[in-house]
Structure 1
Amino acid sequence: MGERNVMLVLHDVAPETWNDYQPFIEAVDALGNVPMTLLVVPDFHHRNPIDQHPDFIRLMDQRLARGDELSLHGHFHCDDAPAPTNPRDWFMRRVYTYEGEFYTLNEAQARERIEKGMALFKRFGWPLHGFVAPAWLMSEGTRRALSQTDLRYTSDPQHFYLLPDHRQIEAPGLVWSARSPWRRGMSWLVSEQAARRHREAPLLRLGLHPVDMRHEFSRDYWLGLLKRLMADGRAPINKIDWLNRHYLNERLAA
């Protein structure tokens, strides 16, 4: 692959988080043609069903018209399963995150939520190609459920997985933990090191969250990094266009 790309991915996109993202998105739009992938949550924390927000639906229509991609990001984006019963699950569900919605689900439970999200996208006329689990945590049941859909990919922080067989593709990503000043400082250091380490990688993904947008330090970092990467020759692209260009069409032709 001769071209080097940068991928801007906005997590947790929902009516209540849009105001966090809006100034950043406006700044990105001002740079020119920068397609993004927006990870849309159908009913954020059981309090934000997007079908009750016509203004948000129109905004998503507008983003699609600009060349952005909408991807399914869980259903509720919160872990509402029974409390963890062992140390590993307690760490994953209470220390690492409280939002690993698909970490404990069996196949039937996962399929139900995924299919509800797919039906919602279909009702709004939104093309849907991918699913990303909240906090990137997926049970084996979730993986099996995804393999039975017509979705084309899922992902974790460092990989894409082509469905239905979950073929793994290297796709390095940067992500911040921005909840406190010391976390933002460490995230800056880790991101700068990773950006240098992956300078020649064909693709670099930037995974942003609403909390990043609430702090000037992290918000300015992401915008500045995007500008640097573009100035260094990386072309912005969304997930499905990159996968179509380099992998999915190749597989279909095989």
Structure 2
Amino acid sequence: MTKRLLASIHDVGPRFEREVDQLADQLSRILGGPKFAMLVVADHWSEAPLAEAKAFQAKLRGWSDAGVEMFVHGWFHKDMAEHGGAASFKARHMTAGEGEFLGLSEAVAAKRMADGKALLEDIIGRPAAGFIAPAWLYGEGARAALAKSGFALAEDHFRVWQPSTGEILAKGPVITWASRSKGRQLSSRFFAGLARHALHPQKVMRIAVHPGDTTVPALIDSIEATYSAFAARRPAGRYADLLPG
């Protein structure tokens, strides 16, 4: 397999239009064009309904027409479920109330996936590239719904897979940054720095950015250095290239 770099911008929607524009410009410059994916949220925290944002819809169509892969990234991006056991730990420590699909039943997860897919595909005029749960967190209900959803691709922190078959298409950690505390900023910058030197043997390298990253200049610098280091040694590709055939 040819080594690939898969770049993505999370939490895309009208709530973070300015931040998404900034990140899209940065990645386009480093990667030599719009060679990245966007993860689109239908109504971020019930405060920014994409269905009513006609100007942002036009932007999404333009990006999609230019070759940007468009993934469904949940509906609300907000976790409103009660959790116990391992899910409770994930909800507290792996995200700040953003793991929407961690505690949903199969029926509710299936409806949100289907509604998000229909909305995004109506906007861009082509199939969605896949589904990626907010914060990369999936509960049992979400995984069951995803297998029947018709999405071609899905990913979590450590893998990309084909939901209909369960076939794993790529393995390895995703490099990302956390902006919500000084400690998380430092630890994510430290990991990115290590990854720039240690992870080049990885076949598929995934690097993801979020709107909140734009609020911390040190994170933007780390993002610049990390994408540049990997892009110098492998081409930026498409998630769809991982699919069989």
TM-score by length of 1: 0.88
**In 2, distance between residues paired with 1:191 and 1:30?**
20
The Cα shift of 1:121 comes to 2.0
Report the RMSD for the aligned CA atoms in angstroms. 1.7
Amino acid at match of 2:51: D
| d(CA) in 2 for partners of 1:34, 1:223 | 15
User: In 1, distance between residues paired with 2:136 and 2:184?
Assistant: 20
Structure with the greater alpha carbon radius of gyration: 1
The equivalent of 2:159 in structure 1 is 159
CA contact (8 A) 1:74 1:133 kept: yes
1:227 aligns with 2:223: no
What corresponds to 1:190 in structure 2?
191
Single out whichever of 61-70 and 221-230 deviates more from structure 2.
221-230
Q: Does 1:204 align with 2:205?
A: yes
CA contact (8 A) 2:36 2:238 kept: yes
Deviation of 1:95 after TM superposition, in Å, equals: 3.5
Aligned pair 1:136/2:132, yes or no?
no
CA contact (8 A) 2:128 2:151 kept: yes
Cα deviation, residue 91, structure 1 = 2.6
Offset at 1:26? 1.7
Q: Tell me if structure 1 keeps the 8 A contact 2:87–2:103.
A: no
Task: Give the drift of 1:147.
Answer: 1.3
Instruction: Write the mapping of 1:10-159 to structure 2, written as runs, cut at 5 A.
Output: 10-31=9-30, 32-81=32-81, 83-84=82-83, 86=84, 88-97=86-95, 98-124=97-123, 125-159=125-159
1:30 alignment partner AA: R
Q: Cα offset for 1:28? A: 2.7
Show CA shifts across 1:31-77 (max 9, x none): 42241110000111111110110111011111112211000001110
Asked if structure 2 preserves the Cα contact closer than 8 Å seen for 1:10 and 1:39, the reply is yes
Q: Give 3-state SS (helix, strand or coil) of 1:16's partner.
A: helix
**Alignment coverage as a number of residue pairs:** 241
Rounded Cα–Cα distance in structure 1 between residues aligned with 2:55 and 2:49: 13
Contact 1:102 1:110 (8 Å CA) reproduced:
yes
Structure 2: distance between partners of 1:179 and 1:122:
32
Name the SS of the counterpart of 1:204 in structure 2: strand
Unaligned stretches of 5+ residues in structure 1: 250-254
| Structure 2 letter corresponding to 1:122 | E
The 3-state SS of whatever aligns with 2:14 is: coil
The alpha-carbon distance between structure 1 residues 56 and 126, as it changes in their structure 2 partners (threshold 3 A), is farther
For 2:218, the equivalent position in structure 1 comes to 217
In structure 2, list runs of 5 or more residues that go unmatched: none
- SS class of match (1:17): helix
Q: CA deviation at 1:87?
A: 5.3
Distance 2:92 2:190 in 1: 25
Q: Classify the secondary structure of the residue corresponding to 1:200.
A: coil
Shift of 1:200: 1.5
The ranges of structure 1 where at least 4 consecutive aligned residues each deviate by more than 4 angstroms after the TM superposition are none
Deviation, 1:159, is 0.3
| 1:170 equivalenced with 2:171 (yes/no) | yes
In 2: Cα distance, 1:172 partner to 1:80 partner = 27
Residue identity over aligned pairs, in percent, reads 27
Given that 2:192 and 2:226 are in contact with CA atoms closer than 8 Å, whether structure 1 keeps it comes out as no
Check whether the contact 2:193–2:226 (CA below 8 A) recurs between aligned residues. no
Which secondary structure does the structure 2 equivalent of 1:79 belong to? coil
- Give, in whole Å, the separation in 2 of the partners of 1:175 and 1:27: 15
